[in-house]
Amino acid sequence: MMHPRSFSHLDAAVTLAAAQMNSSDDWQANLATAEHLVTEAARSGAQLVALPEFFPLISKDLQVRLDLAEEEGRGPLQEALSALAARLGIWLVAGSLPLKTYVEDKTTNTCLVYGPDGQQVVRYDKIHLFGFQKDGESYNESETFIPGERPAIFDTPFGRVGLSICYDLRFPELFRSLDEVDLLIVPSAFTVPTGQAHWELLLRARAVENQCYVLAPAQVGQHADGRKTWGHSMLIDPWGEVVACLPQGEGLVSGQLDSQRIQEIRGQLPALNHRRL
């Protein structure tokens, strides 16, 4: 059974932002777009900015991704992300990027988080790997990715944050395993068929179940590998209400995480304390 956490030590409200991108097979161009969007968000007051899944690269050429993959803590992509967070003094949730493994022709699909000092604070490797087939559209991430094994959370002055990536959204047991969090972040690249059917439904369900905010940066539009992604980056509050949404096009979604709102909802409906399983 959970016990309520004190909110007295938390910042009452903080601005969050999610970047929506149409990533190509040119990682340097994608990084430049990410840096522009993150900088714009920070200048508008965001203290935490999140990028989408696969933000540095979406390509049908596996070798391009293998060439981009870096060792954890080393390489130009990670150096750029660390420097960006430090320069802007923000929490940067770097969507997902490939990191090297010891398995030939496979990488991880990894979310790295950087603190306002530019230091990496946590790593999360995507646990649930996407598989889908319909009308000639087919995906099997297990062919080229190694799944993660452990959930990941980190603490900030404005609350405890839990991480997930895209397809993880369909597995509520992952989010329950995070215990009590104030914010869930879901960097994604939902396809159009699955996004149209389930994206908002699942995001709002995770917010309601966990009585927390959900920030979901997404990929959008037609990509070089032929896939089409749904977009609709969102911020959702603990009652399941959509605070902000960007249906199409590259840009930013932003809004406030209000700890008093979380406290109010959990006080009125203490569902987290009523759990028995």
- Residues recognised as catalytic: 53, 126, 166
Which tokens is 50 given?
A: 């999140």
Q: What is the CA radius of gyration of the chain?
A: 18
Q: Is 40 helix (H, G, I), strand (E, B) or coil?
A: helix
> What is the separation of C-alpha 151 from the centre of its chain, rounded to a whole number of angstroms?
13
Cα 70 from Cα 8, distance rounded (Å): 40
Q: What amino acid occupies position 216?
A: A
The beta strand positions in the chain, using DSSP E, are 13-20, 48-50, 91-93, 97-100, 107-114, 120-125, 131-134, 137-140, 153-156, 159-163, 183-185, 213-216, 220-222, 228-230, 233-236, 242-246, 251-258
